[in-house]
Chains A and B, each alone.
Chain A
């Protein structure tokens, strides 16, 4: 470059800028780096250079003979334009650049960068409609889509898309020239990315432009893509789904009514001949198109459409297609009959398809018991949700027809199917948004009459109940007295033999009564409940009276589900506790002498009846707690004292003799009730309750907690924790624990020293409890307190860890059950800490691992590892336990590698096996995701686990294998294939009753054999097939029915297992 002379000084900065741009251009042509483009853009942004300078600087390249240089020149300009801020793109610059880029479209070497430039230019604010027309004309003239690759064609579509969006008016004026040009551009496009844009453009053209001369051409460039069969490749970076394309294409096909006559015949062809997926796509497209195509097109093709759709309904390929076809029928009817003034016309005016189809279906319904009746009714039900006039017409045809059939003596055997059809129709009328209660109103009396009579038709009750439920739920259809009549008719069913009633019938009765209660609870409360309570006898059914017992159970099942509402539940509690009291403490003293012996003998049925009553209360409460009902806390005062009273009285009054209320099974259910109710109480209520509870259990002060109907005998003390307490009193620790478990963490125990008390409880559970129930109860209470009130227990925990408290489990001078209880107690303490993520939890777990060596309790300690994080019913959110998120995963992350390592490397086989036991027990307790990654290391260990002599461990190992058996996962299948032969052999061995006494293991092994064909390729296992089939034939003769069922499943799968 020549040195700048003095005379040029004023022009200096400009020249310098020019120099700089030229330099940048030269460097870029050589390097192609983005930095130069950026620098040029910043120079322009800063006003130091103009776009014109860039064009000037590019001069020699833009006109170069060499193709590559020309291309690079335009490319640089395009890149600069793309990044250039709009405020630097004035009208003049845009105009020049547009003309320049358009001219470069002619040159095959520069067309690609020119398109890039245009993509940026068309979005500029200074870009005008005149430019737009110039651009499309140039593109129509010079762009040959066939020679461009996808990304370049994409630019073409992008340019047109933004132009059509912003300068539509200009193109409208261009008229046919624009449409012709675009159609020839877009013809033959295949790439899904481009098609998405092309469909969007086509929709605008179809809606906004005058297309009368181009209907066919536009139809051809859109319909040719129907149906979309595109499957996105795996890990498609563009993320275009077949659904996106279908939606966009549907947007074109339903853009104009002009397409109707062309498209409908083709749609019909696709439905008839297509695959199920095509059928469904076509049906959905028809749904979108028919309303646009309009009534006349629909009417013209009505017959053909109906005939085609009918086939999909009466001989459905699959349920999904069937329901879509039904929907399309609805759309068709709506298209034909709405907007024609049909709303105001009379029923008789319905002509054409709706009438014909309706009559056709009614003809089929003349044989209501046949298989075709069902789809025919589906069509009629669909009609009820179309237009008001068609709905009215359909009901006027169908209801009288069904009523007539029902009352026809010749059709008497077919009454049940007729009821089914009527119930479906009534429900469709209820669900229909256009027909309010009025639609069925004209037929209300016949309907109610037929349905109530139908309740007594053999096999018809279920359907009649459905129909009644539909009628009750239809707003404005039935009056209060009619609802009363429906309840009354159903009560008649309950008055019969409820035990004979099928489960489906009782479910439907409950649904119906529930629906009535929601509107008017009085009918159920005043007529149904007394009937049910009346069916409960005052005394238990005798041992041999199975029928009476079944009636009791069924009645209770009804009550449990009907009495959810607050008032009804109050009644339930009152009635059941009264019966319970009378059962447990008979009002009149039993006659002396031999009669008493007989009573004792036959106490079991009474206890079982009392248990059933309590169970009903507990189940109803559990359902109410799950729903979050607000009336539950009130039962802390209304129900719990009565229960304590009953049980304490039984323990004191009989002083050792068995009585009904001291049966441990009853106490266990009462304990459930205590926890259910108390967990919903607030802190002050709980505090008050705890004070009374502790006063009773520690000081024998019963008045606070066990006030009630029964007076305790004088001179008997209640001290269940005393070492010499009777077994009956000790049992009541269950109730105590049930209350402690439900406490909020703010509620302090009513003792001076919580640690000391918990320690006592711990010792009691290990050394003084008589049964597993009792020691469990003590451990649960310990765990609940430790978990919630950890802050006060630091010293306690340290002392337990440092005094090697757990070492008692190794003490051979203690009885083995006691040593096991030490381990269980320790496990519960560990669990209480682990779930809240307490820092000492790990140290507690480590102590368990130290026990693995022990000859007697090593396996118990190993099993405990899984129990630490197994799900339980004590430490739950509902019981206000402190639970840390993902605690089980965290535990697994620490323990799984240690256990795997231990199982592989432990020195002696006994210790290795203990690790295997720990492994199977841990895996059972943690979520699948927590161990899936370790599967390759686990597989050999699990196979070893299958050789352990312990049946439970084997079953756990197989269950784990089953849990990870995922035919979809190639990794897990490969792993199974690797061990396939040994797995087959082991599983066969474990499935034979002669070799494996445990039914649970046999079942699991057979289940695994049943999934193997789906996991392993046939060529791997085909040599084993004959052996497996022969061996499995033996398992078909297993003594247990459940095992045989699995054997059948497994053997069938192996028969089907072929290459």
Chain B
């Protein structure tokens, strides 16, 4: 990993907050939730009604990945990823496109960021999903090559064979799993 600094002083953005209504009541309930009815809550959780995977859940998986250049900041804080940039294919529900925005067009870390998103989703989403990862159109000088590289199975697999790369990758991903 080179020590060259691509963007030493990036812009920081505010992170998204959970919607308000959830703190008061269960979805679609008229009744204010009691602060201390945890015992009852457990019982009600037993229905196995499907809660399909949505945009927010996928965003939740990748928002806290650390930026490889600024480890103390997350991809979300640097606005590299955002929920609206996760798009479900309207025709086949198992096809997802995840778009990300490098902080500067010459960012040499973009491949690595794309790879970290790819690995995180490979590990965390069911096999049935087919994921495309691309940079936001016009946000990077070698956009085409990048997109090609990130969606080439062989090259992703080859990159993961590199122990040094894998170590940095695990470090960046480690912030994503710190469950709240």
Q: Given the complex of chains A and B, what is the CA–CA distance between A608 and B126 in angstroms? A: 40
Whether the pair A1051, B20 counts as a contact (CB closer than 8 A) is no
Is the pair B46, A1000 in contact by a Cβ cutoff of 8 Å?
A: yes
- Point out the residue from A372, A550, A998 that lies within 8 Å of B21, measured CB to CB: A550
B21 CB contacts on chain A under 8 angstroms: 499, 546, 550, 553
Binary interface encoding of chain A residues 550-565 relative to chain B, with 1 for a CB under 8 A from any of its CBs, else 0: 1001101100000000
| Contact B123 A370, beta carbon cutoff 8 Å | no
Q: Check B30 against A502 for contact (C-beta < 8 Å).
A: no
Nearest chain B CB to A626 CB, angstrom units:
12
For residue B24, CB closer than 8 A to chain A, the reply is: yes
CA distance A417 to B49 in the complex (A): 43
Q: A732 contacts the other chain (Cβ, under 8 Å)?
A: no
Is A203 interfacial (CB-CB < 8 Å)?
no
- Which among A369, A504, A1051, A1053 is the interface contact of B12 at CB below 8 angstroms? A369
B23 closest partner in A (C-beta) = A503
Q: Are B70 and A503 in contact (CB under 8 A)?
A: no
Q: Is the CB of A615 within 8 A of B48?
A: no
Asked, given contacts A554-B20, A1040-B51, A1044-B57, whether A370 binds B12 with beta carbons under 8 Å apart, the answer is: yes
Binds B, one of A218-226, A813-821, A1031-1039: A1031-1039
Q: Do A367 and B124 touch across chains, with their CB atoms under 8 A apart?
A: no
User: Does A1045 have its Cβ within 8 Å of any Cβ on chain B?
Assistant: yes
Contacts of A417 in B (CB 8 A): 12
Does the CB pair A615–B34 fall under 8 Å? yes
Q: Taking the complex as formed, is A549 at the interface, i.e. its CB lies under 8 A from any CB of chain B?
A: yes
Shortest CB distance B22–A (Å): 10
* A1037 touches which of B8, B14, B25, B126 (Cβ 8 Å): B126
List chain A residues, Cβ under 8 A from B24. Answer: 550, 553-554, 557
Closest Cβ–Cβ distance, residue B141 to chain A (whole Å): 22
How many whole Å from B96's CB to the nearest CB in chain A?
A: 14
The distance in angstroms between the C-alpha atoms of A554 and B21, with both chains bound, is 9
Interface residues of A in 348-382 (CB under 8 A from B): 367, 369-372, 374
Asked if A632 CB lies within 8 Å of chain B CBs, one says no
Task: Note all chain A residues with C-beta closer than 8 A to B152.
Answer: none
Least CB distance, A676 to chain B, in whole angstroms: 12
Shortest Cβ distance from residue B34 to the other chain A in the assembled complex, whole angstroms: 7
- Alpha-carbon separation in the docked complex, A312 to B17 (Å): 31
Decide yes or no: A1040 and B48 within 8 Å by CB, A503-B20, A543-B30, A550-B20 being known contacts. yes
**A1017-1057 with Cβ < 8 A to chain B:** 1033-1034, 1036-1037, 1039-1042, 1044-1045, 1048-1049, 1051-1053, 1055-1056
**Contact across chains for B173 and A1052 when beta carbons are under 8 A apart:** yes
Pick the residue among B20, B35, B49, B57 that contacts A1039 (CB under 8 A): B49
Q: Which of B8, B32, B35 has the most CB of A within 10 A?
A: B32
Are A1000 and B45 CB-contacts (below 8 A) given A371-B73, A608-B32, A1052-B123? yes
- With A502-B20, A999-B45, A1000-B46 as given contacts, are A1051 and B124 in contact (CB-CB < 8 Å)? yes
How long is the Cα–Cα vector from A1034 to B70 in the complex, in angstroms? 34
Q: Closest approach, in angstroms, between the C-beta of B111 and any C-beta of chain A?
A: 21
| Chain B residues, Cβ within 8 Å of A316 | 72
Look across to chain A and name the residue whose beta carbon is closest to the beta carbon of B12.
A371
B-chain residues with CB within 8 Å of residue A873 when the two chains form the complex: 36
A-B contacts at CB below 8 angstroms, number: 105
Q: Give A561 Cβ to nearest chain B Cβ, in Å.
A: 13
> Within the complex, what minimum Cβ distance (angstroms) separates A912 from chain B?
27
Measured between C-beta atoms, what is the minimum distance from B44 to chain A in Å?
A: 10
Q: Given A553-B25, A665-B31, A999-B48, are A1044 and B53 also a contact pair (CB < 8 Å)?
A: yes
Q: Is there contact, CB below 8 Å, between B17 and A1036?
A: no
A1053 to B179 CA separation, bound complex (whole angstroms): 12
How many Å from the CB of A454 to the closest CB on chain B?
14
User: Complex formed: what's the CA distance from A998 to B45 in Å?
Assistant: 9
User: How close is A241's CB to chain B, nearest CB, in angstroms?
Assistant: 31
Q: Is the CB of A1045 within 8 A of B179?
A: yes
Contacts of A1045 in B (CB 8 A): 179
- Least CB distance from A493 to B in Å reads 14
Q: How far is the CA of A1044 from the CA of B17 in the complex (A)?
A: 21
B residues in contact (CB < 8 Å) with A: 8-12, 14, 17-18, 20-21, 23-25, 30-32, 34-36, 42, 45-46, 48-51, 53, 57, 61, 70, 72-73, 123-128, 170, 173, 177, 179
21 contacts between A and B (CB under 8 A): A369-B11, A370-B9, A371-B9, A374-B12, A416-B14, A499-B21, A503-B20, A546-B21, A553-B24, A553-B32, A557-B24, A612-B31, A1000-B42, A1036-B125, A1040-B45, A1042-B45, A1045-B179, A1048-B61, A1049-B179, A1052-B173, A1052-B177
Query: Which residues on A are within 8 Å of B, measured CB to CB?
Result: 316, 367, 369-372, 374, 416-417, 459, 499-504, 543, 546, 549-550, 553-554, 556-557, 604-605, 608, 611-612, 615, 619, 665, 873, 993, 997-1000, 1033-1034, 1036-1037, 1039-1042, 1044-1045, 1048-1049, 1051-1053, 1055-1056
Given contacts A502-B20, A997-B46, A1048-B61, 11 further A-B contacts (CB under 8 A): A416-B14, A503-B17, A503-B18, A557-B24, A604-B30, A612-B31, A1033-B127, A1039-B48, A1048-B124, A1049-B179, A1053-B177
